[in-house]
Amino acid sequence: MSKLHYDTVVDRIADTLVTASTTFTPDQMRAYAHCKAKETNPNAGWVLEKLIENAEEAEKNALPLCDDTGTPHVIIELGKDATLPGDFLPAVEAGVAEGLRRLPARAMGVLGDDKERVSQKKGLSDDPGHLAMAPLRIIAIPGNAIRVTVLMLGGGPELRGKTLRVFHKHNFQVVLDEMVAWAKEAVALLGCQPAILAFGVGRSNFEASSLALEALKNADFDVQTDVEKEITDRVNAEHIGALGLGGDTSVLATFVKIGAQRASGWRVVSLRTECCVGPRRATCEF
């Protein structure tokens, strides 16, 4: 990749990170408007209204949707006929750091050696770009496109996430019921309802959590499968409501990605309980 190309990738990735952090997709805005219109709890309706206003303000002025601007995660979709230059990945990494500064993101990079980073005893970096992106994932796609999706994952959902084996007893409903039980517990504790639920079902902890992230990348609020709708409806029946204040919208939508499975009596399920500003993601194509 030439110097110009490197700089172009850095710039495009930085812009994509800013878009992910400041913009709801049109289908997500439609989902919020639909829920606001049918909400019967006045306080929950007030919260939904504020979240819509917040999204409008954030997009208009390129401001972060949430002050927890999140940890950057990147998924690259690589066309089978595309050529990926050797400095593409460093350019993506540099673009993420530039995007964090351009936003600006909350400076959350922790300083120090291994023990100091865990205990946070050495304090934080002043540089928003110090927050390194998480290990990235590459997915093969047809054609010659290179698509890069940046997802900004906030801290609240990490507290309510769960990845664990589920014994399926050769019955899909058993696994589904367990997923719903996890979701009910997690959404009740979230604090930033309505939640956007993402599930991955795979053969290992790594694979299941990767699939949950892929489900968020693909999220289309206009399209819900029967399984996704059932999970949403069953959690909404708890009437946890926006901000936990009661009401009809505890979950805005659910996204499920089921991967390959192996011969065994268990499946690994991963739940990410995205908060009301999620999934903050945007995609650019090269």
Partner 1 sequence: MNVTTPLSQDVINSLTINDQILITGKIYTGRDAALPKLIELYEQGRLAENGISLTGGVIFHTAVSDAGIGPTSSNKVEIEESIPLLSQAGIKIHLGKGKLSDATVAALKAHGSVFAVTPPASALLTAKMTHKRVAAFPEEGIEALYELTVVDFPAIIAIAHGRSIFDR
Write out the residues near partner 1 by the rule CB under 8 A: 43, 46-47, 50-51, 53-55, 57-58, 61, 63-69, 103-108, 120, 123-124, 126, 128, 155-156, 159, 188-192, 239, 242-246, 275-277
Cβ distance to partner 1 smaller for residue 138 or 159: 159
CA–CA separation, 115 vs 121, rounded Å?
9
Report in angstroms how near the CB of residue 69 gets to partner 1 at its nearest: 5
Cβ distance to partner 1 smaller for residue 106 or 165: 106
Q: Which of 59, 214, 102 lies closest to 149 in space, CA to CA?
A: 214
CA–CA separation, 95 vs 9, rounded Å?
7
Cβ count near 135 (within 10 Å) = 7
Phi and psi based region of residue 57 (left: phi greater than 0; alpha: psi -120 to 50; beta: remaining): alpha
Report in angstroms how near the CB of residue 49 gets to partner 1 at its nearest: 9
Kindly list the strands in the beta sheet with 146-153, ordered across the sheet, starting from the edge strand earlier in the chain. Answer: 137-141, 71-79, 146-153, 280-285
Cβ distance to partner 1 smaller for residue 49 or 87: 49
Cβ distance to partner 1 smaller for residue 82 or 245: 245
Report in angstroms how near the CB of residue 40 gets to partner 1 at its nearest: 14
* Buried b or exposed e, range 242-256, using 16+ CB within 10 angstroms: bbbebbbbbbbbbbb
Cβ distance to partner 1 smaller for residue 29 or 188: 188
Report in angstroms how near the CB of residue 199 gets to partner 1 at its nearest: 22
Report in angstroms how near the CB of residue 124 gets to partner 1 at its nearest: 4
